[in-house]
Every structure is written in structure tokens, then in C-alpha cells.
Chain A
Amino acid sequence: MKLRAAVKKYKNDLLLIGGLLVIVAAAFLVLLSVKKAGRSVTVEMNGETVRTFDLSEDVTYPVVTEAGENVLVIRGGEAWIESADCRDKVCVHRGKVRNAGETIICLPHKLVVTVRAGGDE
């Protein structure tokens, strides 16, 4: 009886963790299947779009927020944050983005840079 209960627990564990892994795999597949090259880059601060650039432009744009500064660079169809004065530098480590839907986020500065499939309207 005790053994049976233990086996049942292992089964439940497998179901639960396996189920979670399936969800993750599905999410990654969806992300991969919708991947396409971006055409423009939007800069959002506090949830509002402040600038839009074409991804084919060559731009060095210092984004100044109340909280600090991030330097956005667009070159050769790729966008990245060159430098930032926040503490963790997660946005700088994020590296280059080029596909539609990819984002660079600087939480301390409430800054979101998003690559979009549409053009620069």
C-alpha cells in the first residue's frame, strides 16, 4: 500500500512537470513560427511610444528618461542598447535584436524598445 502511494506520487510528479514542459515547448514553437524580420523600431517610455525608427536607418539615439539614460543604436538592420546608466545593465546584455516582436527592456527606466513588422508611420 505504501509502495503504491509512492508510485502514484511519482506519476503525479511526472504528469505535472511533464505538462509544464509541454506548455513551454508549445510556447517556444509558437514564438519560432511567427519569427520574421522586423522593419521598424519603437521606443516606449512609461507605456507611451515616444519615437519610431526604421530598422534600415543608422541611428545613435540617447533615450533620456527621468530615471536615467540609455543609448540606443540602430545599424545594419539590428538594434541594441550600447550603454546605460542603470545598475543591472540587463538591457545592454540583451544584445542585438532584429526580428519582429523582439524587445529590449530596461525595467529601472521603464523603457521598452520593440522591433515591429510594420514600417515607420
Chain B
Amino acid sequence: MSGRRLAYLGIFLGLAMILSYVETLIPLSAVVPGMKIGLANVVTVFLLYRFRWFEAFLVSFIRVILSALLFGSLMSFLFSTAGFLVSFLAMLLLKKTGKFRTVSVSVTGGVLHNTAQILTAAAVLGSGAIIGYLPVLFLVGIVTGAVIGLLSGILIRTVPLKM
């Protein structure tokens, strides 16, 4: 990996961390329990399209770990990791098919992220009661995924990078 490439990834990790922090200032969780926009995923989707998949994976996974350490708890780390792994894999595969635009890729990621989180929460609670939140968080995943997808779509097309 070239030095320039590595430097870019470092900058993007920093940007993702800032976005994670900004997100803690938006109290959407009061509207729908556990709801987040997932702003930092703009970086994930951007990297997925403009860098190699493992570079996107590394930067995003490190961001998930660091923001759980800084802004979350052990439990939120568990949820974020489950959500991240499932949604990243799904977005990667969907993108590889080449049949969808960024919005769809991101929406699928958002929906699966929330679904994985709910299932993890059900396992942690040892109770299926939380499954009742699935429809709401499914819808939230579609909306936030669309927002993230449209934003990153613009950035993927316009941000100039000198490799």
C-alpha cells in the first residue's frame, strides 16, 4: 500500500470518528428507541466504492471499535459489531452484482444492520419480546440507509482523490 493511500485511509478514519461524535449530539433515540442516522456510514459506503473492499472494511471496523470505546459501552460494542459485520457483507455482495445504485446498497445495509442488532439484543436479553421493534427499526433502516446512500452517492462522484 502506498504512503498516500495509507494517509487517505487515516484521514477517512478521522472523518468517520468525527461523524460518530456528531451523531452522539443528535438525540434521535428519544424518537425511536435505539435509532441512529449512522452518519459515519457515509465514509464506509464511500470507501466501498472508491477503495478496495478490505480497506473499507478495516477503516470501518476500527471506527466501530473506537466509537464504542469512546461513546458507548460493552453492550453497544456487541450490537454495533454485529450490525456492522452483517451490513458490510451484504453491501459488498450487492455492490459486486453491479445491478444496483448506491442508494439500494446503502438501504440494504441499513435494514440488515438494524435487523442484526435486534437479533443480538434478543439473544442478550434472552427474550423474544424485542422482536416487536423490528418493523419500526426496519423502516428506520430504509430511511437512514436512503439518506446515507444519496449523500455518499454524491461524494463518490465528486470528491477528487490523487492516488
B33 interface neighbour in A17, A46, A94, A110, Cβ under 8 Å:
A94
Contact A13 B130 (CB under 8 A): no
B126 interface neighbour in A12, A20, A46, A93, Cβ under 8 Å:
A46
User: For chain B residues 108-129, which have a beta carbon within 8 Å of chain A?
Assistant: 108, 111, 121, 124-127, 129
B121 neighbours in A (Cβ, 8 Å) = 105, 107
How many A-B residue contacts, CB cutoff 8 Å? 81
Contact B138 A27 (CB under 8 A): yes
Assuming A90-B33, A90-B34, is B132 touching A31 (CB within 8 A)? yes
Contact A105 B99 (CB under 8 A): no
Which residues of B are interface residues toward A (Cβ below 8 A)? 29-30, 33-34, 73, 75, 99-101, 103-104, 107-108, 111, 121, 124-127, 129-130, 132-135, 138-139, 142, 146
Assuming A90-B29, A90-B33, A108-B73, is B138 touching A20 (CB within 8 A)? yes
* 26 A/B residue pairs, CB under 8 Å, sorted by A: A12-B100, A16-B104, A16-B107, A17-B103, A17-B104, A17-B142, A17-B146, A20-B107, A20-B108, A20-B138, A24-B135, A44-B125, A44-B127, A46-B125, A48-B126, A87-B73, A105-B33, A105-B121, A107-B75, A107-B121, A107-B125, A108-B73, A108-B75, A110-B124, A110-B125, A112-B125
- Nearest-neighbour CB distance to chain A for B83, whole angstroms, equals 14
Contact B125 A9 (CB under 8 A): no
Assuming A17-B104, A27-B135, is B30 touching A93 (CB within 8 A)? yes
B146 neighbours in A (Cβ, 8 Å) = 17
- Nearest-neighbour CB distance to chain A for B74, whole angstroms, equals 10
B73 neighbours in A (Cβ, 8 Å) = 87, 108
Which residues of A are interface residues toward B (Cβ below 8 A)? 8-10, 12-13, 16-17, 20-21, 23-24, 27-28, 31, 44, 46-48, 87-88, 90, 93-94, 101-103, 105, 107-108, 110, 112, 114
